[in-house]
Amino acid sequence: MEESRAAAVQELRARFAAGQTRPAEWRAKQLRGVLRMATEMEAEICDALHADVGKPKTEAHVHEISLVKSSCLFALKNLKKWMKPKKVHARLMTFPSTARITKEPLGVVLVISAWNYPLLLSLDPVIGAIAAGNAVVLKPSEVAPATSSLLAELLPRYVDSACIKVVEGGVSETTALLEHKWDKIFYTGNSKVGRIVMAAAVKHLTPVVLELGGKCPVIVDSNVNLHVTAKRIAAGKWGCNNGQACIAPDFIITTESFAPKLLEALKKVLEKFYGKDPLLSADLSRVVTPNHFNRLLDMMDDEMVSDKIVFGGQRDEQKLKIAPTIFLDVPLDSAMMKEEIFGPLLPIITVDKIHESFGLINSMTKPLAAYLFTRDSKLQKQFESTISAGGMLLNDTSVHLTNPHLPFGGVGESGTGSYHGRFTFDAFSHGKAVLHRGFGGEAKARYPPYSSAKLKIMKGVLVGKLGAMIQAILGFPRGK
Ligand code: NAD
């Protein structure tokens, strides 16, 4: 097994070294291949996502297939622009010269993806890695076996399988892959394994992108459109894989006086979305495995919180389904408030004044996403300047990730590095500094034998007013 893995990596190295992945035409062809796969295989993909996590067809299309297609189209549209060297200002010190940043592929990269959006989280980084001209190994999650084996079967049919490979497997296969030298590792998953990935990368000084999770807070002020707020919270929580999403609202903070109104609005919306018996709804994903199901049951049946349920609580062990469940005023030292929930449980924490929520959030590890619902512009500004989070969204949840012009990634324990749109291309590229001179423009002052007069000239050129003036005359920006 290890031999075939090693042979695969070796082949990728050889293909990359031969320059096979570099031409724009090769990159565009592969991107069109991924696009074609996502288009022609929609039904098979939907079936696999349903088999893995009971994902409703609409969510499979909207949150996975369409986003993959849109990433391909965006990369295809912008590929030439992204690949073009970026001219930057020259400096007097090197006059005459031109300067540019040339994007070059990193080499052979490893993408390790997670089970909850097993298509999107696999292909979105791969799309950027291809666009940037790399050879790629994709290791999908074994916790979503149907999608993993579908990707292993389909990708080689649609892309250049000598340069883009899928290696399936779980912990031991991933551990073995991590032993190899990569030019970048892009990992999506929990922070415990993120640490393992980072430790493995250190051995070869391999740069990493870690797309991790955390507890995403939602602050709800009283100055809101209540019905819209409730719908958008519910859509971001239960409408995203039944809460099994990295940017799903993890807990709500609102004021004690507003909590009853918000709770009533959420109940109404949930009944409308999923009916009187949500366990029967086909629009709610199931929990992915019995282990994950039991972890969530332990969390909701914990005696610190079990009497705090104000809505839901139903579960079906056979179908691995848990209904949307809301808790009010759970203790901050309960497991529910200490661990990432990653499921359909939603605690509401109350504070006296809404501003107190900032301190509470900042006392926790930095989240992947933070949400605020309010019409109060002062509170909005304070939120933006006070809360550190991978990303933030005002008056909605989760949908910020659909904008390819925004980087998507964490900060602190919610991750390092970012991707989406051009940011994925950049994550898999090296921005090479290129300074280009001719043989003119010789300055004697630069060369030994040194003298105080030469030193004066050099200082003037580098930091003096005269140097700055000459730079300005020559069209160089001052002070840069
Ligand atoms: P997972 O169980 O699918 O694991 C992720 C990957 O890690 C898999 O490919 C798996 O094979 C590999 N892995 C597991 N154990 C390993 C080990 N010991 N050594 C090496 N590799 C190992 O997914 P998960 O971790 O349960 O995913 C859920 C977590 O991921 C949550 O914390 C969630 O917030 C986070 N997440 C983040 C994003 C994001 O974009 N930031 C997206 C989805 C999920």
pLDDT at residue 415, rounded to an integer: 98
Strand partners, 135: 108
Cα 212 to middle of ligand 1, angstroms: 8
pLDDT at 479: 41
Specify the residue with its C-alpha closest to ligand 1, atom 24: 189
Instruction: Report the pLDDT averaged over residues 369-388.
Output: 98
Identify which of 53, 171, 188, 400 to mutate to test ligand 1's pocket (most ligand atoms within 8 A of the CB). Answer: 188
Report the 10 Å Cβ neighbour count for 307.
8
The number of C-alpha atoms within 13 Å of 331 and in the hemisphere containing its C-beta is 10
Quick: pLDDT tens for 295-336: 999 999 999 999 999 999 999 999 999 999 999 999 999 999
Residue 52 CB–ligand 1 contact under 6 Å: no
Closest-lying ligand 1 atom to the alpha carbon of residue 409: 41
Of 228 and 5, more confident: 228
Cite the active site residues.
Answer: 211, 246
Q: What is the mean pLDDT of residues 90-116?
A: 96
How far apart are the C-alpha atoms of 266 and 251, rounded to whole Å? Answer: 13
* Alpha-helix residue ranges (DSSP H) falling in 132-258: 145-158, 171-179, 191-203, 226-237
Distances from the Cα of 366 to the Cα of 31, 166, 217, 342, 347, angstroms: 34, 33, 10, 16, 18
pTM score = 0.96
Enter the tokens of residue 376.
């109060």
**Average of per-residue pLDDT values in the chain:** 96
Query: Which pLDDT score is estimated for 411?
Result: 98
Domains (range + CATH), the chain: 2-212+420-430 (3.40.605.10), 217-409 (3.40.309.10)
Q: What share of the chain is helix, strand, coil (3-state, %, to 5)?
A: 50, 20, 35
Instruction: Tell me how far apart the alpha carbons of residues 224 and 373 are, in angstroms, rounded to a whole number.
Output: 6
The pLDDT assigned to 478 comes to 45
* Structure tokens given for 56: 């409703």
Lowest mean pLDDT among 11-20, 87-96, 414-423: 87-96
Give the pLDDT of residue 477.
Answer: 56
Q: What CA–CA distance (Å, rounded) separates 121 from 128?
A: 12
Read off the tokens for 64: 């996975």
Residues 6+ apart with CB under 8 A from 27: 21, 79, 130, 131, 132, 133
For residue range 446-462, list pLDDT tens digits in order: 999 999 999 999 999 89
432 band by pLDDT with thresholds 50, 70 and 90: very high
Average of per-residue pLDDT across 67-83: 98
Assign 232 a pLDDT band (cuts: 50, 70, 90). very high
* CB-ligand 1 contact for 189 (6 Å cutoff): yes
Distance 99 CA to ligand 1 centre (A): 41
> What is the percent of the chain where pLDDT is above 90?
94
For residue 386, how many other CB atoms are within 10 A of its CB? 14
CA distances from 79 to 50, 68, 286, 416, 433 (A): 33, 16, 38, 25, 20
210 CB neighbour count, 10 Å cutoff? 23
Our answer on whether the CB atom of 193 is closer than 6 Å to any ligand 1 atom is yes
**Which of 478, 474, 422 has the alpha carbon at shortest distance from 86?**
422
Classify 393 as helix, strand or coil: strand
Ligand 1 neighbour 251 (Cβ under 6 A): no
**What value does the mean pLDDT take over residues 235-260?**
98
Terminal CA-CA length for the chain = 54
Residue 211 Cβ inside 6 Å of ligand 1? The answer reads: yes
Q: What's the average model confidence in pLDDT over 230-251? A: 98
DSSP states of 148-160: HHHHHHHHHHHS-
What stretches of 106-144 adopt beta strand conformation (E)? 108-112, 135-139
Q: What is the pLDDT of residue 277?
A: 97
As a whole number of angstroms, the distance between CA 23 and CA 451 comes to 50
Cα separation, 415 vs 397, in Å, equals: 19
Both tokens of 431, joined, read: 């921005």
Instruction: Give distance in angstroms: CA of 189 to centre of ligand 1.
Output: 2
Evaluate: CB of 116 within 6 angstroms of ligand 1. Answer: yes
User: Ligand 1 centroid vs 144 CA: distance in angstroms?
Assistant: 11
Distance from Cα 288 to the centre of ligand 1, integer Å: 13
Question: What's the rounded Cα separation, in Å, for the pair 219 and 389?
Answer: 13
CA atoms within 13 A on the CB side of 38: 26
pLDDT at 480 over 50: no
Express each pLDDT in 268-299 by its tens digit. Answer: 999 999 999 999 999 999 999 999 999 999 99
Give residues with Cβ within 8 angstroms of 476, minimum separation 6.
89, 90, 91, 92
Residue 275, classed as helix, strand or coil, is: coil
DSSP run (H or E) holding 18: none
Percent of the chain with pLDDT strictly greater than 70: 99
The per-residue pLDDT for range 204-214, each reduced to its tens digit, is: 999 999 999 99
Long-range contacts of residues 98-102, Cβ cutoff 8 Å, at least 24 apart: 98/435, 98/436, 99/433, 99/434, 99/435, 99/436, 100/434, 100/436, 101/431, 101/432, 101/433, 101/434, 102/431, 102/432, 102/434
Average pLDDT over residues 42-68: 98
